[in-house]
Amino acid sequence: YFMPFWAQKHDDYLKLLRDLQEHCEDLWDRVEGVRHKLTRVLNPAKLTPYLRQCKVIDEQDEDEVLNSIQYPLRITKAGRLLDILRSQGPRGLQAFMESLEFYHPEQYTQLTGEEPTHRCSLILGKKKKNKGLLGACIKFAL
């Protein structure tokens, strides 16, 4: 059986996409596994400017998280922010993980097993070498 070159590349690409989606889901599962702790340490007011700069949330999302009477407590605001970021797919994951690198390095290390690098984001147009699970998700997102 002969498979044309382009068909093999297409199959390889689809397999890679499936694998990367699984890796991203695994990382979100890790986030959900420590959600209780994260919502207690995260300060949404500190994270939202960076997340807006990365264009994974907009002004309306930021206003909802920070000012809605539905979310009167910092814990509920942080929970809503996590939900919004998850709905943004791999780019939401990347921006969230980078914000953890900057503001909550211990949680970043707990989730990824990697030390924070504090380098500029690919989302922001700067080059950054990414390793491991997060790197795979980032490459998938771009």
What predicted TM-score, i.e. pTM, was given to this entire model? 0.74
Q: Domain 16-141 class?
A: mainly alpha
Report pLDDT digits (tens) over 74-105. 999 999 999 999 999 989 999 999 999 999 99
> For residues 114 and 103, is the Cβ–Cβ distance under 8 A?
no
Two tokens, residue 78: 């942080």
Smallest CA-to-CA distance from 137 within 13, 27, 46, 1 is with 27
Query: What are the sequence ranges of the domains in the chain?
Result: 16-141
Rounded Cα distance between 122 and 30, Å, is 22
Instruction: Give the tens place of pLDDT for each residue, 20-52.
Output: 788 889 999 999 999 999 999 999 999 999 999
